[in-house]
Amino acid sequence: MRSAGKLADAILITAGCSSLLFLLFNISRHGWTLHYLSLLLVAAIFFSALRLSVSIKGNVALLLLSTVVGLYGAEALLGQVLFTPSRFSAWDWLNFPEDVTTGIAIDRIKKQKAVNASFDSRTRLQVVQDLRSQGIHAFPHIFLSVLMQADGKGGITTLFKTGQEEFLPLASISHVTTVFCNESGEYIIYDSDEHGFHNPPGLWQQDAVQVVALGDSFTHGACVPTENSFVSVIRSHFPATINLGVDGNGPLAMLATLKEYAASLRPKIVLWFYYEGNDSRDLDEREKNSLLLRQYLGTSFSQRLIDRQEEIDHVLTAYLEGAMQARGASFDPEAFLKLQHVRTSVQSVINKRPARDGLPAELVEFLKTAGAESAKEDLELFRAILGEARASVAAWGGRLYFVYLPTWARYRSPDLASQDRAAVLRIVGESGVPIVDIHTAFASHPDPLSLFPFRRHAHYHINGHQLVAEEVLKRLEKDGTGHR
């Protein structure tokens, strides 16, 4: 009986100490967050159990041991053997960031492969690895949110520092083969320009840049062949057009990009592409909490990124190589200890809800959140950002245009579309910035959903990009602005 009691004590003490060590590891690795209190609570429960009777302690220890063995056995099975959404999500942003959830990603791939056997279902990492096996110096595209993290105090900080100052690249590695995205069955792969953007080589050396485009993934060119993106179509009319759009950018990141790069180009026309699907959320959920990004508002602050490409290439190369190595590893100790696959699988079951109007419940919830009405202070922040952008462009004699890009939801389930549309357009109008409202063109199209790949929630299809470009070009032609 005494030996059984000692064994139970050893198990409980080990469990309590392990909880405390895991707490310290998490704090040192990721900083303090409130939910780490649960580890303190668990440790306290284990240590308190030492005061129980021998028989009760034995039962608690046996239950604890069997639970731990069962959970970590399930983690090993899910992570290394079965192909499930939990295993799929282990690829993280190296997978399909254009999908709302991993479950939707898997469902999309299965359905599309059923009708198109040649649909490329590889992960982004697998594409990079395959290209490298052919001797091609390839990297996955990286976007802003990957390079930012919570600071544990309600703010957002960057992964990189130079001395004591934050350092935030606003584009990718220069002069490398870049693996972007895949929604229609084929990966978009391009060679980045001298500053890591999605442009043909040599544009930065031109004496007079006519047009600069700012925006997020839609402007970046997701997910159509390079020559079919709306910026490329605009470039066919105005050859000196430079694309500064980057996947994941919101209003503050766009303003930062304008000041870091467009200001040195001094284009006659700056096209600000606003995507109603997530620009407000990028601003209120992430960007406004970054002290670095807020410095671009109302000040002459600059990171001098246009002169630091060698440094940008160095830090991003090191980061991406590390990320790819970690994702490609057969075993991730931290993910295993945190029961990543078990938690994801349980969460997917909990979140599994009936479809609404033929749409997955996860997508409906995502669209509701993305389209929710912004707080008044966030709309005023947007007003300030747009005013700063307009003043910056006017300072070199250029003209800013605001291009409103609608979501798939606006034509499939209008009640789930952005609730900020009227407020945003009112702010733009009051700011004196000309508006090109793409929703007007999409709404008058005989079949707006055909402008999206497979008629699903996604970026625009080729014909959608073509329509955006046509509307922009018509407005520029009407204004007599920026002729060749």
Give 67: exposed, middle or buried? Use CB within 10 Å, 0-12, 13-18, 19+. Answer: exposed
Looking at residue 355, what is its pLDDT? 66
Whole-angstrom Cα distance, residue 458 to residue 453? 7
Counting Cα atoms < 13 Å in the Cβ hemisphere of 194 gives 10
Which region holds residue 140: left if phi is over 0, alpha if psi is between -120 and 50, else beta?
A: beta
R_g of the chain, CA atoms, integer Å: 25
For 476, the token pair is 């520029």
Whole-angstrom Cα distance, residue 12 to residue 60? 8
Whole-angstrom Cα distance, residue 332 to residue 70? 19
What is the secondary structure of 417-433 as a DSSP string? S-TTHHHHHHHHHHTT-
In this structure, the number of other CB atoms found within 10 A of the CB of residue 450 comes to 14
Residues with Cβ within 8 Å of residue 362, at least 6 apart in sequence: 100, 101, 103, 104, 351, 353
For 478, the token pair is 């009407």
Which residue ranges make up each domain of the chain?
A: 2-82, 138-479
Residues with Cβ within 8 Å of residue 340, at least 6 apart in sequence: 75, 79, 86, 89, 90, 332
For 5, the token pair is 């009691």
Question: What are the Cα distances from residue 240, in Å, to 287, 359, 466?
Answer: 30, 42, 19
Alpha carbon 362 to chain centroid distance? 17
Q: Report the largest interatomic distance among the alpha carbons of the chain, rounded to a whole angstrom.
A: 93
Q: Are 280 and 420 in contact (CB under 8 A)?
A: yes
Looking at residue 218, what is its pLDDT? 97
For 301, the token pair is 């602050």
Strand 435-437, strand 399-405: pairing: parallel
Whole-angstrom Cα distance, residue 95 to residue 242? 28
Q: Which residue has the tokens 């579309």?
A: 417
Whole-angstrom Cα distance, residue 247 to residue 242? 16
Q: Are 433 and 479 in contact (CB under 8 A)?
A: no
Whole-angstrom Cα distance, residue 181 to residue 223? 6
Q: What are phi and psi of 399, to 5 degrees?
A: -130, 130
For 396, the token pair is 């070199």
As a residue count, the chain comes to 484
Range 138-479: architecture per CATH? 3-Layer(aba) Sandwich (3.40)
pLDDT tens for the chain, 484 residues long, are: 567 778 878 888 888 888 888 888 888 877 777 777 888 888 888 888 788 888 887 788 788 888 888 877 777 766 554 444 444 444 455 655 456 666 677 777 777 878 888 888 888 888 999 999 999 999 999 888 889 988 878 889 999 998 888 999 999 999 999 999 888 889 999 999 999 999 998 999 888 899 999 999 999 999 999 999 999 999 999 999 999 999 999 999 999 999 999 999 999 999 999 999 999 999 999 999 999 999 999 888 999 999 999 999 999 999 999 988 877 655 567 767 777 667 766 666 665 666 667 888 888 988 999 999 999 999 999 999 999 999 999 999 999 999 999 999 999 999 999 999 999 999 999 999 999 999 999 999 999 999 999 999 999 999 999 999 999 999 999 998 755 5
Q: What are phi and psi of 80, to 5 degrees?
A: -120, -15
For 374, the token pair is 């912004």
The dihedral over CA atoms of 142, 144, 147, 152, expressed in degrees to the nearest 10, equals: -150
Whole-angstrom Cα distance, residue 201 to residue 176? 12
Assign 190 to helix, strand or coil.
strand
